[in-house]
């Protein structure tokens, strides 16, 4: 039987732990990579987590895989990676994809608005 997108998101959320903005900020201070997987117009409208790397969801696997010609050196499978999007669905799916690529410590910050509303640093793009 075919799965719905919500089934896929639920399965991804089951394997990618959710964390709070406070936990994400602490991990970022310790060197975790924070990745914004939203599309460019979303970043332009609201900004992004200060210091986050923007990689749209569609390019995430290409940027993360060292064997890809699009690989970004910021991605290290041994480093903590925290993803977020607008509501937590794309970041969960992206987190599962990173785990499938061999990343060992992947977390889901969830919604950008939760970060912004917590008073954590945001930068305009």
Helix (H, G, I), strand (E, B) or coil at 85: strand
Say which residue the tokens 């923007």 belong to: 54
Contacts of 14 (CB under 8 A, 6+ apart): none
pTM above the 0.85 mark? yes
pLDDT digits (tens, 9 = 90+) for 99-109: 999 999 999 99
Contact 106, 18 (CB under 8 A): no
pLDDT digits (tens, 9 = 90+) for 8-51: 999 999 999 999 999 999 999 999 999 999 999 999 999 999 99
CATH code for the domain of 96? 3.40.250.10
Average pLDDT, the chain: 97
CA distance 67 to 20: 32
Domain holding 104, by residue range, is: 5-123
Contact 37, 85 (CB under 8 A): yes
1: tokens are: 């039987």
Structural domains of the chain, count: 1
């Amino acid at each position: 039987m075919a799965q719905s997108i919500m089934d896929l998101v639920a399965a991804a959320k089951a394997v990618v732990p959710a964390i709070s903005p406070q936990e994400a900020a602490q991990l970022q201070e310790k060197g975790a990579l924070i990745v914004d997987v939203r599309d460019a117009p979303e970043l332009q409208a609201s900004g992004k987590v200060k210091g986050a790397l923007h990689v749209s969801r569609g390019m995430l696997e290409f940027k993360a895989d060292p064997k890809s010609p699009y690989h970004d050196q910021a991605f290290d499978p041994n480093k903590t990676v925290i993803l977020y999007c607008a509501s937590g669905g794309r970041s969960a799916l992206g987190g599962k994809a990173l785990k499938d690529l061999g990343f060992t410590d992947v977390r889901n910050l969830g919604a950008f608005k939760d970060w912004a509303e917590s008073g954590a640093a945001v930068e305009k793009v």
